[in-house]
Amino acid sequence: MKVCRSEVELRQVLRDAGGPVGFVPTMGALHEGHLSLVRRAREEADLVVMSIFVNPLQFGVGEDLAAYPRDERRDLDLAETEKVDIVFMPSVEEMYPPGNEMRVRAGALGDILEGASRPGHFDGVATVVAKLFNVVDPDLAFFGQKDAQQVAVIRRLIEGLSFRTRLIVCPTVREPDGLALSSRNVYLSPEERTRALALWTSLQAAAEALRSGDDPTAAAAKGLDFLAAQEGVLPDYLEPVNPATFERPQAGEDTLFVVAAKVGTTRLIDNLLVQRPQQPESTEEI
Ligand code: PAF
């Protein structure tokens, strides 16, 4: 496995290596969710590139940039075990040359839900991913469904800035009890860890209400009521959205329930897709 710390070095290594490139961007603190992306990339590409970069642009004032879990040795060992070919680990100065303030704007999609609670977050994500795509120039890029709004932003980024990269969205990896894996789960005390499961339960309550005939808004309200009643959990939102546009789902469309809540001081997100019932095949005789 090769570790590159500068763009020039990475471009050189990629030029020498050749082959379809699968790219897994991360902020480190690797867990099974990241490793599932690497395994999928291994299946689909000849060369697997992972970036490890805690991107300051996507953290707001008062967020956990300084405290964000970092363990370079452990991350590199895991990447090596999973047969990542190249790890790109740039410094902040390498990614953002001092004095250069060129940025990508995620637009209206970046200003709602997560973006409303974390102003500028998706501009930061779009900027760093655009830079990484420019340097790595991947054929395929692998993102987790857990960050559903990020996935929608990246889809728009690829289309809007004409990247050739194909986006592959991989399923959320969960603990056996349903808690979505997240690098931020390490912040949870054992008691908070138990309480955090309420996000997943609230999504299931919303999905159940939708399947039982509630409209998406009423179904989401039921999930939110459940979440609000949990001790030590402070809900931010539980909303139904169209998974691609993040607008209100129209009748008969797939509904993605997205949730965010603070458990103690840790902000967690999760989501659950309810697919519209399949139309029965036409049996009309010709
Ligand atoms: O999902 C993440 O870990 C980050 O938002 C990403 C895509 C690596 C950009 O910093």
Per-residue pLDDT of 228-247, as tens digits, reads 999 999 999 999 999 999 99
Residue 286 has pLDDT above 60, yes or no: no
Kindly give the distance from the C-alpha atom of residue 266 to the centroid of ligand 1, in angstroms, as a whole number. Answer: 18
> How many Å apart are CA 134 and CA 131, to the nearest integer?
5
Mean pLDDT to the nearest integer, 72-81? 98
Contact 244, 148 (CB under 8 A): no
Residue 279 has pLDDT above 70, yes or no: no
Nearest CA-CA partner of 216 in 198, 246, 241, 236: 241
b/e map 234-272, b = 16+ CB within 10 Å = ebbbbbbbbbeebeebeeebebbbbbbbebbebbbbbbb
Cα dihedral value 159, 161, 166, 167, nearest 10? -70
Q: Which of 10, 34, 235, 268 is catalytic?
A: 34
For atom 2 of ligand 1, which residue has the closest CA?
26
Per-residue pLDDT reduced to its tens digit, 178-234: 999 999 999 999 999 999 999 999 999 999 999 999 999 999 999 999 999 999 999
Kindly give the distance from the C-alpha atom of residue 219 to the centroid of ligand 1, in angstroms, as a whole number. Answer: 30
Chain-centroid distance, C-alpha 109: 15
pTM (two decimals): 0.95
Whole-Å CA distances, 277 to 205, 210, 211, 216, 254: 18, 11, 9, 14, 9
Kindly give the distance from the C-alpha atom of residue 125 to the centroid of ligand 1, in angstroms, as a whole number. Answer: 6
C-beta of 50 in contact with ligand 1 (< 6 A)? no
> How many Å apart are CA 148 and CA 246, to the nearest integer?
9
> How many Å apart are CA 147 and CA 241, to the nearest integer?
14
Q: Tell me the average pLDDT of the chain.
A: 95
Q: Which of 75, 128, 131, 183 most suits a substitution to test ligand 1, by most atoms within 8 Å of the C-beta?
A: 128
Neighbour tally for 191: CB within 10 Å: 12
Beta bridge partners, 82, equal none
Asked if 31 is an active-site residue, the reply is: no
Percent of the chain with pLDDT over 70: 97
Axis crossing angle, helix 7-17 with helix 121-136, rounded to the nearest 10: 50
Contact 123, 35 (CB under 8 A): no
Q: Where is 202: in which H helix or E strand?
A: helix 190-211
Which atom belonging to ligand 1 lies closest to the Cα atom of 54? 10
Q: Where is 170: in which H helix or E strand?
A: strand 166-170
Structure tokens at 244: 């691609």
Structure tokens at 175: 């603990």
